[in-house]
Amino acid sequence: MFNLNSLQRNKTIKYGVPMLLLVVGGSFGLREFAQIRYDAQKIRKRLDPSLEAKVNPQKQAVILEEEYEKLKEIHLDEWKNIRGPRPWEDSREYQEQQRKNLSKTD
């Protein structure tokens, strides 16, 4: 009887242990709820491949031969490097100047 009364008056047992249980138990509970959320997102993102091809046509496989043919059509020998305006330069004025220089060289 003496031990039970002294334990009930002890502040560590009365307030510390429940707080510790709440913190530790809360972290485990939060982990479980977060895992449920992430599992639900995985299921929602997973689609049938044929349906995904209809929904997202951009994600279709790129055929290398087709891309090579597109690059062959572009005339890379006629390409000229034009630098952009500096932050302290007026961009419209600089673009007009570049266009004039291009038309002179053509």
pTM of the model: 0.34
Q: What is the DSSP letter of 77?
A: G
**Domain-by-domain residue ranges, the chain?**
2-79
In sequence order, what are the residues at sequence separation of 6 or more whose Cβ sits closer than 8 angstroms to the Cβ of residue 102? 80, 82
Predicted pLDDT of residue 77: 79
pLDDT at 56: 66
Residue 76 pLDDT? 77
Q: What is the mean pLDDT of each run of 10 residues along the chain (106 residues)?
A: 76 89 93 89 73 64 78 79 78 81 70
